[in-house]
Amino acid sequence: MTLHAHVVGWGKYVPRRVLTNDDLSRMVETSDEWIRTRTGIRERRLADEGETTATMAVEAARQALEVARISPAQLDLIIVATVTPDHLFPATACLVQDALGATHAAAFDLSAGCSGFIYALSVAAHLLEAGAFQTALVIGAETLSRITDWSDRATCVLFGDGAGAVVLQAGENEGGVLATVLGADGSGGDLLMLPAGGSRWPASHRTVAEGLHYLRMQGREVFRFAVRKMPATTRKVLERAGLTLDDVGLLIPHQANQRIIDAAARALGIPEDAVYVNLDRYGNTSAASIPIALCEAAEEGRIQPGDLVVCVGFGAGLTWGAAAIRWTRPQPLPLPRYQRLLRRLYYPLAAFRSWLRRLGRRLAALWSRIAGEENGKNSPS
Ligand code: UT7
Protein backbone atom coordinates (compact mmCIF):
# COMPACT_ATOMS: atom_id res chain seq x y z
CA MET A 1 0.00 0.00 0.00
CA THR A 2 1.48 3.36 -1.06
CA LEU A 3 0.60 6.31 1.14
CA HIS A 4 0.52 9.93 0.03
CA ALA A 5 0.55 13.08 2.19
CA HIS A 6 -2.38 15.30 1.19
CA VAL A 7 -2.89 18.94 2.16
CA VAL A 8 -6.39 18.85 3.65
CA GLY A 9 -6.45 22.11 5.62
CA TRP A 10 -4.87 25.56 5.55
CA GLY A 11 -4.96 28.62 7.76
CA LYS A 12 -3.14 31.84 8.49
CA TYR A 13 -2.91 34.58 11.04
CA VAL A 14 -1.43 38.04 10.66
CA PRO A 15 -1.47 40.62 13.45
CA ARG A 16 -3.82 43.57 13.15
CA ARG A 17 -1.16 46.26 13.58
CA VAL A 18 0.07 47.63 10.24
CA LEU A 19 3.42 49.39 9.79
CA THR A 20 3.63 51.24 6.47
CA ASN A 21 6.70 52.40 4.61
CA ASP A 22 5.77 55.97 5.51
CA ASP A 23 5.71 54.99 9.19
CA LEU A 24 9.23 53.58 8.76
CA SER A 25 10.44 56.72 7.03
CA ARG A 26 9.65 58.56 10.28
CA MET A 27 11.78 56.05 12.26
CA VAL A 28 14.90 55.67 10.07
CA GLU A 29 16.40 57.40 7.03
CA THR A 30 14.43 55.69 4.29
CA SER A 31 11.50 56.34 1.98
CA ASP A 32 8.43 54.59 0.64
CA GLU A 33 9.96 54.93 -2.83
CA TRP A 34 13.24 53.18 -1.84
CA ILE A 35 11.49 50.33 -0.06
CA ARG A 36 8.94 49.75 -2.84
CA THR A 37 11.39 49.82 -5.71
CA ARG A 38 14.14 47.80 -3.97
CA THR A 39 11.90 45.22 -2.29
CA GLY A 40 8.26 45.47 -3.43
CA ILE A 41 7.09 45.85 0.18
CA ARG A 42 4.43 48.46 1.03
CA GLU A 43 3.52 47.46 4.55
CA ARG A 44 4.00 44.69 7.10
CA ARG A 45 2.17 43.45 10.22
CA LEU A 46 3.61 43.63 13.72
CA ALA A 47 2.62 41.51 16.69
CA ASP A 48 0.99 43.29 19.61
CA GLU A 49 2.49 43.05 23.08
CA GLY A 50 0.45 39.98 24.05
CA GLU A 51 1.12 38.15 20.80
CA THR A 52 3.93 35.66 20.35
CA THR A 53 4.97 33.07 17.80
CA ALA A 54 2.94 30.45 19.67
CA THR A 55 -0.26 32.52 19.91
CA MET A 56 -0.14 33.34 16.20
CA ALA A 57 0.66 29.71 15.35
CA VAL A 58 -2.38 28.59 17.35
CA GLU A 59 -4.68 30.97 15.43
CA ALA A 60 -3.39 29.72 12.06
CA ALA A 61 -3.66 26.11 13.25
CA ARG A 62 -7.27 26.51 14.43
CA GLN A 63 -8.24 27.79 10.98
CA ALA A 64 -6.38 24.96 9.24
CA LEU A 65 -8.08 22.37 11.44
CA GLU A 66 -11.48 23.91 10.69
CA VAL A 67 -10.86 23.75 6.93
CA ALA A 68 -9.67 20.14 7.32
CA ARG A 69 -12.71 19.27 9.50
CA ILE A 70 -10.28 17.64 11.90
CA SER A 71 -10.32 17.81 15.66
CA PRO A 72 -7.06 18.62 17.49
CA ALA A 73 -7.34 15.21 19.20
CA GLN A 74 -6.86 13.55 15.79
CA LEU A 75 -3.42 15.09 15.30
CA ASP A 76 -0.42 12.75 15.70
CA LEU A 77 2.29 15.28 14.95
CA ILE A 78 2.88 19.04 15.19
CA ILE A 79 5.94 20.71 13.70
CA VAL A 80 6.52 24.44 14.09
CA ALA A 81 9.12 25.92 11.76
CA THR A 82 10.46 29.12 13.29
CA VAL A 83 13.58 31.13 14.06
CA THR A 84 11.71 33.18 16.66
CA PRO A 85 10.37 30.57 19.11
CA ASP A 86 8.70 31.80 22.31
CA HIS A 87 11.62 30.29 24.25
CA LEU A 88 14.74 28.32 23.32
CA PHE A 89 12.88 25.53 25.08
CA PRO A 90 10.28 24.17 25.54
CA ALA A 91 9.54 23.97 21.84
CA THR A 92 6.89 26.38 20.56
CA ALA A 93 5.24 23.29 19.05
CA CYS A 94 4.61 22.02 22.60
CA LEU A 95 2.94 25.33 23.55
CA VAL A 96 0.78 24.98 20.45
CA GLN A 97 0.01 21.34 21.28
CA ASP A 98 -1.16 22.36 24.75
CA ALA A 99 -3.23 25.34 23.58
CA LEU A 100 -4.96 23.25 20.90
CA GLY A 101 -5.58 20.32 23.23
CA ALA A 102 -3.86 18.04 20.70
CA THR A 103 -3.48 15.37 23.35
CA HIS A 104 -2.19 12.63 21.04
CA ALA A 105 0.36 14.64 19.11
CA ALA A 106 4.15 14.56 19.24
CA ALA A 107 5.50 18.09 18.89
CA PHE A 108 8.82 19.69 17.96
CA ASP A 109 10.29 22.83 16.43
CA LEU A 110 12.39 22.99 13.32
CA SER A 111 14.92 25.72 12.57
CA ALA A 112 15.87 26.18 8.92
CA GLY A 113 15.45 29.94 8.48
CA CYS A 114 13.01 31.03 5.81
CA SER A 115 13.15 27.51 4.31
CA GLY A 116 11.77 26.15 7.59
CA PHE A 117 8.24 25.53 6.38
CA ILE A 118 9.44 23.53 3.35
CA TYR A 119 11.75 21.52 5.61
CA ALA A 120 8.90 20.84 8.06
CA LEU A 121 6.51 19.92 5.24
CA SER A 122 9.06 17.51 3.82
CA VAL A 123 9.72 15.83 7.19
CA ALA A 124 6.00 15.51 7.95
CA ALA A 125 5.15 14.23 4.46
CA HIS A 126 7.84 11.54 4.64
CA LEU A 127 6.69 10.42 8.08
CA LEU A 128 3.13 10.15 6.78
CA GLU A 129 4.20 8.29 3.65
CA ALA A 130 6.17 5.87 5.84
CA GLY A 131 3.02 5.15 7.86
CA ALA A 132 4.53 6.51 11.11
CA PHE A 133 1.74 9.07 11.52
CA GLN A 134 -1.68 9.62 10.02
CA THR A 135 -2.34 13.35 10.51
CA ALA A 136 0.18 16.17 10.92
CA LEU A 137 -0.03 19.90 11.52
CA VAL A 138 2.78 21.86 9.90
CA ILE A 139 3.17 25.50 10.90
CA GLY A 140 5.49 28.31 9.91
CA ALA A 141 5.32 31.15 12.44
CA GLU A 142 7.52 34.14 13.24
CA THR A 143 7.67 37.22 15.44
CA LEU A 144 10.61 38.82 13.64
CA SER A 145 9.75 42.26 15.04
CA ARG A 146 11.22 41.07 18.37
CA ILE A 147 14.68 40.41 16.88
CA THR A 148 14.70 43.42 14.53
CA ASP A 149 16.98 46.37 15.18
CA TRP A 150 14.54 49.19 14.55
CA SER A 151 17.39 51.64 14.05
CA ASP A 152 18.97 49.59 11.20
CA ARG A 153 17.38 50.70 7.93
CA ALA A 154 19.07 47.88 6.00
CA THR A 155 16.98 45.24 7.79
CA CYS A 156 14.04 46.84 9.63
CA VAL A 157 12.17 47.65 6.42
CA LEU A 158 12.13 44.02 5.31
CA PHE A 159 10.47 41.90 7.95
CA GLY A 160 7.00 41.26 9.38
CA ASP A 161 5.17 38.90 11.76
CA GLY A 162 2.59 36.18 11.13
CA ALA A 163 1.82 32.48 10.92
CA GLY A 164 0.59 29.98 8.36
CA ALA A 165 -0.39 26.35 8.81
CA VAL A 166 -1.39 23.27 6.85
CA VAL A 167 -2.88 19.98 7.92
CA LEU A 168 -1.43 16.95 6.16
CA GLN A 169 -3.22 13.62 6.09
CA ALA A 170 -2.04 10.26 4.80
CA GLY A 171 -4.22 8.70 2.10
CA GLU A 172 -4.00 6.02 -0.56
CA ASN A 173 -5.29 8.19 -3.40
CA GLU A 174 -2.71 9.73 -5.74
CA GLY A 175 -1.56 13.32 -5.23
CA GLY A 176 -0.53 15.47 -2.28
CA VAL A 177 3.16 16.16 -1.68
CA LEU A 178 4.76 14.59 -4.77
CA ALA A 179 8.38 15.51 -4.14
CA THR A 180 10.56 17.72 -1.99
CA VAL A 181 14.13 18.99 -2.28
CA LEU A 182 16.13 20.26 0.70
CA GLY A 183 19.63 21.70 0.80
CA ALA A 184 22.06 23.58 3.01
CA ASP A 185 25.40 25.37 2.86
CA GLY A 186 26.57 26.22 6.36
CA SER A 187 29.57 28.14 5.03
CA GLY A 188 27.10 31.00 4.49
CA GLY A 189 25.75 30.89 8.04
CA ASP A 190 27.24 34.28 8.92
CA LEU A 191 25.37 36.03 6.09
CA LEU A 192 22.10 35.95 8.00
CA MET A 193 22.15 35.28 11.71
CA LEU A 194 21.06 36.12 15.23
CA PRO A 195 24.49 36.15 16.89
CA ALA A 196 23.65 36.06 20.61
CA GLY A 197 21.30 34.21 22.92
CA GLY A 198 22.65 30.73 22.19
CA SER A 199 25.53 28.76 23.73
CA ARG A 200 28.23 30.61 21.76
CA TRP A 201 27.26 34.04 23.15
CA PRO A 202 24.74 33.64 25.94
CA ALA A 203 22.88 36.77 27.02
CA SER A 204 25.14 39.16 28.90
CA HIS A 205 25.47 42.92 29.39
CA ARG A 206 27.99 42.91 26.55
CA THR A 207 25.76 41.09 24.05
CA VAL A 208 22.89 43.42 24.83
CA ALA A 209 25.07 46.55 24.69
CA GLU A 210 26.44 45.48 21.30
CA GLY A 211 23.00 44.66 19.91
CA LEU A 212 23.90 41.03 19.28
CA HIS A 213 20.35 39.91 19.96
CA TYR A 214 19.24 41.52 16.74
CA LEU A 215 19.13 39.87 13.35
CA ARG A 216 22.18 40.62 11.15
CA MET A 217 22.22 40.24 7.41
CA GLN A 218 24.51 40.83 4.46
CA GLY A 219 21.65 41.57 2.10
CA ARG A 220 23.51 41.69 -1.20
CA GLU A 221 25.14 38.27 -0.65
CA VAL A 222 21.81 36.69 0.35
CA PHE A 223 20.21 38.28 -2.71
CA ARG A 224 22.79 36.72 -5.06
CA PHE A 225 22.40 33.31 -3.41
CA ALA A 226 18.59 33.50 -3.67
CA VAL A 227 18.56 34.45 -7.35
CA ARG A 228 20.76 31.43 -8.11
CA LYS A 229 19.03 28.91 -5.87
CA MET A 230 15.32 29.60 -6.49
CA PRO A 231 15.23 28.53 -10.16
CA ALA A 232 17.68 25.63 -9.66
CA THR A 233 15.67 24.21 -6.73
CA THR A 234 12.38 24.59 -8.61
CA ARG A 235 13.77 22.66 -11.58
CA LYS A 236 15.14 19.96 -9.29
CA VAL A 237 11.86 19.34 -7.45
CA LEU A 238 9.97 19.11 -10.75
CA GLU A 239 12.53 16.63 -12.07
CA ARG A 240 12.15 14.57 -8.91
CA ALA A 241 8.36 14.58 -9.35
CA GLY A 242 8.73 13.56 -13.01
CA LEU A 243 7.11 16.81 -14.19
CA THR A 244 8.09 19.91 -16.16
CA LEU A 245 7.67 23.66 -15.84
CA ASP A 246 4.65 23.44 -18.16
CA ASP A 247 2.82 21.45 -15.48
CA VAL A 248 3.11 24.20 -12.84
CA GLY A 249 -0.23 25.78 -11.99
CA LEU A 250 1.04 28.14 -9.33
CA LEU A 251 4.52 28.96 -8.04
CA ILE A 252 4.61 30.08 -4.42
CA PRO A 253 8.03 31.54 -3.74
CA HIS A 254 9.38 32.69 -0.39
CA GLN A 255 8.26 36.30 -0.09
CA ALA A 256 11.54 38.13 0.52
CA ASN A 257 12.00 40.57 -2.35
CA GLN A 258 9.99 41.23 -5.51
CA ARG A 259 13.21 41.48 -7.51
CA ILE A 260 14.26 37.99 -6.38
CA ILE A 261 10.82 36.61 -7.26
CA ASP A 262 10.85 38.31 -10.69
CA ALA A 263 14.36 37.06 -11.45
CA ALA A 264 13.39 33.49 -10.52
CA ALA A 265 10.19 33.60 -12.58
CA ARG A 266 12.10 35.05 -15.57
CA ALA A 267 14.81 32.39 -15.34
CA LEU A 268 12.13 29.68 -15.26
CA GLY A 269 9.96 31.26 -17.96
CA ILE A 270 6.92 31.21 -15.65
CA PRO A 271 4.41 33.98 -16.42
CA GLU A 272 3.69 36.62 -13.75
CA ASP A 273 0.11 35.43 -13.21
CA ALA A 274 1.33 31.94 -12.27
CA VAL A 275 3.42 33.34 -9.40
CA TYR A 276 1.76 34.16 -6.09
CA VAL A 277 2.90 37.36 -4.38
CA ASN A 278 1.64 38.97 -1.15
CA LEU A 279 4.96 40.44 -0.12
CA ASP A 280 3.63 43.97 -0.61
CA ARG A 281 1.22 43.50 2.33
CA TYR A 282 3.26 41.42 4.78
CA GLY A 283 6.96 41.86 4.00
CA ASN A 284 9.25 38.93 4.69
CA THR A 285 7.77 36.73 7.42
CA SER A 286 10.51 34.10 7.13
CA ALA A 287 9.19 30.57 7.80
CA ALA A 288 5.62 31.92 7.79
CA SER A 289 5.81 33.47 4.33
CA ILE A 290 5.13 30.37 2.21
CA PRO A 291 2.26 28.93 4.32
CA ILE A 292 0.58 32.36 4.56
CA ALA A 293 0.84 32.71 0.77
CA LEU A 294 -0.35 29.12 0.21
CA CYS A 295 -3.36 29.73 2.44
CA GLU A 296 -4.28 33.02 0.75
CA ALA A 297 -3.92 31.49 -2.71
CA ALA A 298 -6.24 28.63 -1.70
CA GLU A 299 -8.76 31.03 -0.13
CA GLU A 300 -8.76 33.19 -3.26
CA GLY A 301 -9.50 30.14 -5.42
CA ARG A 302 -6.14 30.38 -7.19
CA ILE A 303 -5.53 26.71 -6.42
CA GLN A 304 -8.04 24.10 -7.56
CA PRO A 305 -8.07 20.31 -7.19
CA GLY A 306 -5.72 18.81 -9.77
CA ASP A 307 -3.42 21.86 -9.84
CA LEU A 308 0.29 21.48 -9.35
CA VAL A 309 1.64 23.95 -6.78
CA VAL A 310 5.36 24.43 -6.35
CA CYS A 311 6.61 26.12 -3.18
CA VAL A 312 10.23 27.23 -3.16
CA GLY A 313 12.26 29.02 -0.51
CA PHE A 314 15.70 29.99 0.74
CA GLY A 315 17.04 31.47 3.91
CA ALA A 316 19.35 31.50 6.91
CA GLY A 317 21.70 28.56 7.23
CA LEU A 318 22.08 28.98 4.35
CA THR A 319 19.24 26.67 3.43
CA TRP A 320 16.93 26.12 0.49
CA GLY A 321 14.05 23.85 -0.36
CA ALA A 322 11.10 23.20 -2.63
CA ALA A 323 7.95 21.10 -2.58
CA ALA A 324 5.77 19.99 -5.50
CA ILE A 325 2.19 19.46 -4.37
CA ARG A 326 -0.71 18.06 -6.38
CA TRP A 327 -3.74 19.77 -4.81
CA THR A 328 -6.55 17.36 -4.04
CA ARG A 329 -8.83 19.29 -1.71
CA PRO A 330 -11.66 21.56 -2.94
CA GLN A 331 -12.44 24.80 -1.12
CA PRO A 332 -14.57 23.72 1.85
CA LEU A 333 -18.12 24.93 2.37
CA PRO A 334 -18.59 27.06 5.49
CA LEU A 335 -19.14 24.98 8.63
CA PRO A 336 -22.69 24.87 10.03
CA ARG A 337 -23.02 27.23 13.03
CA TYR A 338 -23.43 24.52 15.66
CA GLN A 339 -20.28 22.76 14.44
CA ARG A 340 -18.33 26.00 14.58
CA LEU A 341 -19.60 26.55 18.10
CA LEU A 342 -18.59 23.02 19.14
CA ARG A 343 -15.10 23.63 17.73
CA ARG A 344 -14.80 26.93 19.60
CA LEU A 345 -15.85 25.23 22.82
CA TYR A 346 -13.01 22.73 22.46
CA TYR A 347 -10.30 25.33 23.07
CA PRO A 348 -11.46 26.69 26.46
CA LEU A 349 -11.87 23.05 27.48
CA ALA A 350 -8.29 22.40 26.36
CA ALA A 351 -7.15 25.38 28.46
CA PHE A 352 -9.10 24.02 31.44
CA ARG A 353 -7.56 20.59 30.95
CA SER A 354 -4.10 22.15 30.84
CA TRP A 355 -4.82 24.10 34.05
CA LEU A 356 -6.05 20.92 35.77
CA ARG A 357 -2.86 19.08 34.80
CA ARG A 358 -0.72 21.89 36.23
CA LEU A 359 -2.80 21.90 39.39
CA GLY A 360 -2.52 18.10 39.62
CA ARG A 361 1.26 18.36 39.31
CA ARG A 362 1.45 20.99 42.06
CA LEU A 363 -0.75 18.94 44.38
CA ALA A 364 1.32 15.83 43.70
CA ALA A 365 4.50 17.76 44.52
CA LEU A 366 2.92 19.09 47.73
CA TRP A 367 1.75 15.63 48.68
CA SER A 368 5.15 14.07 48.12
CA ARG A 369 6.74 16.83 50.25
CA ILE A 370 4.27 16.21 53.09
CA ALA A 371 4.66 12.45 52.76
CA GLY A 372 8.47 12.91 52.67
CA GLU A 373 8.37 14.92 55.90
CA GLU A 374 6.21 12.25 57.54
CA ASN A 375 8.65 9.54 56.39
CA GLY A 376 11.53 11.66 57.69
CA LYS A 377 9.82 11.91 61.11
CA ASN A 378 9.20 8.18 61.26
CA SER A 379 12.58 7.12 59.92
CA PRO A 380 15.13 5.88 62.53
CA SER A 381 17.77 8.50 63.30
O1 UT7 B 1 14.48 35.60 3.74
C2 UT7 B 1 15.82 35.72 3.41
C3 UT7 B 1 16.25 37.00 3.99
N4 UT7 B 1 16.80 38.01 3.22
C5 UT7 B 1 16.65 38.40 1.94
O6 UT7 B 1 16.04 37.80 1.13
C7 UT7 B 1 17.31 39.66 1.57
C8 UT7 B 1 17.99 39.61 0.24
N9 UT7 B 1 18.52 40.92 -0.09
C10 UT7 B 1 17.76 41.95 -0.46
O11 UT7 B 1 16.56 41.82 -0.57
C12 UT7 B 1 18.44 43.24 -0.82
O13 UT7 B 1 19.84 43.05 -0.83
C14 UT7 B 1 18.08 44.40 0.15
C15 UT7 B 1 16.64 44.83 -0.06
C16 UT7 B 1 18.32 43.99 1.59
C17 UT7 B 1 18.95 45.62 -0.17
O18 UT7 B 1 18.80 45.99 -1.53
P19 UT7 B 1 20.08 46.27 -2.43
O20 UT7 B 1 19.60 46.71 -3.73
O21 UT7 B 1 20.94 45.03 -2.36
O22 UT7 B 1 20.74 47.48 -1.67
P23 UT7 B 1 22.20 47.60 -1.05
O24 UT7 B 1 22.31 46.81 0.21
O25 UT7 B 1 23.18 47.34 -2.14
O26 UT7 B 1 22.23 49.13 -0.69
C27 UT7 B 1 22.15 50.16 -1.69
C28 UT7 B 1 22.12 51.50 -1.00
C29 UT7 B 1 23.20 51.65 0.05
O30 UT7 B 1 23.67 52.97 0.01
P31 UT7 B 1 25.04 53.32 -0.75
O32 UT7 B 1 26.08 52.48 -0.09
O33 UT7 B 1 24.80 52.92 -2.18
O34 UT7 B 1 25.18 54.77 -0.52
C35 UT7 B 1 22.46 51.44 1.35
O36 UT7 B 1 23.05 52.13 2.43
O37 UT7 B 1 20.86 51.68 -0.34
C38 UT7 B 1 21.11 52.05 1.02
N39 UT7 B 1 20.02 51.52 1.82
C40 UT7 B 1 18.89 52.19 2.03
N41 UT7 B 1 18.46 53.39 1.60
C42 UT7 B 1 17.24 53.78 1.97
C43 UT7 B 1 19.95 50.33 2.46
N44 UT7 B 1 18.76 50.21 3.08
C45 UT7 B 1 18.09 51.36 2.82
C46 UT7 B 1 16.81 51.82 3.19
N47 UT7 B 1 16.42 53.03 2.74
N48 UT7 B 1 15.98 51.10 3.95
Per-residue model confidence as pLDDT tens digits over 301-319: 999 999 999 999 999 999 9
Measured in whole angstroms, how far is the alpha carbon of residue 135 from the centre of its chain? Answer: 17
Residue 220 CB less than 6 A away from ligand 1: yes
- Residue 231's SS3 state is helix
- Residue 168's SS3 state is strand
Looking at residues 254-278, what average pLDDT do you find?
Answer: 97
Mean pLDDT over the full length of the chain: 96
Looking at residues 125-141, what average pLDDT do you find?
Answer: 98
Question: In this predicted structure, what is the pLDDT of residue 371?
Answer: 86
Give me ligand 1 centre to Cα 263, in Å.
Answer: 17
Looking at residues 67-86, what average pLDDT do you find?
Answer: 97
Smallest Cα–Cα separation from 122: which of 181, 44, 197, 75?
181
Residue 24 CB less than 6 A away from ligand 1: no
Upstream peptide bond of 90 is cis (omega within 30 degrees of 0): yes
Give me ligand 1 centre to Cα 39, in Å.
Answer: 8
Q: Indicate whether 374 pLDDT > 80.
A: no
Under the banding of pLDDT at 50, 70 and 90, the label for residue 378 is low
Angstrom CA distances, 340 to 60, 172, 257, 344, stand at: 16, 29, 38, 6
Q: Indicate whether 27 pLDDT > 80.
A: yes
Of 220, 254, 259, 318, best ligand 1 pocket probe by most atoms within 8 Å of the beta carbon: 220
Question: In this predicted structure, what is the pLDDT of residue 339?
Answer: 87
Q: Is 358 exposed, middle or buried (0-12, 13-18, 19+ CB in 10 A)?
A: exposed
Model pLDDT for residues 90-115, shown as the tens digit of each residue: 999 999 999 999 999 999 999 999 99
Q: Give the alpha-carbon dihedral of 127, 130, 131, 136, to 10 degrees.
A: 20
Q: Per the CATH hierarchy, to which homologous superfamily does domain 4-326 belong?
A: Thiolase/Chalcone synthase (3.40.47.10)
Identify the residue whose C-alpha is closest to ligand 1 atom 35.
154
Q: Ligand 1 atom closest to Cα of 316?
A: 2
Residue 222 CB less than 6 A away from ligand 1: yes
The beta-strand segments (E) located in 106-160 are: 106-110, 135-143
Question: In this predicted structure, what is the pLDDT of residue 64?
Answer: 97
Q: Indicate whether 380 pLDDT > 80.
A: no
Please, are residues 143 and 51 in contact by the beta-carbon 8 Å criterion?
A: yes
The beta-strand segments (E) located in 173-307 are: 176-184, 192-193, 216-217, 250-253
- Report the run of H or E that residue 25 belongs to, with start and end: helix 21-25
d(CA 81, CA 307): 25
Q: How many helices (H) and strands (E) does the chain have?
A: 12, 13
Neighbour-count burial for 309-323, b at 16+ CB within 10 Å, e otherwise = bbbbbbbbbbbbbbb
Looking at residues 188-203, what average pLDDT do you find?
Answer: 96
Residue 47 CB less than 6 A away from ligand 1: no
d(CA 283, CA 114): 13
- For the whole prediction, is pTM greater than 0.85? yes
Which string of DSSP letters, residue by residue, matches 62-101?
A: HHHHHHHT--GGG--EEEEE-SS-SSSSS-HHHHHHHHHT
Residue 223 CB less than 6 A away from ligand 1: yes
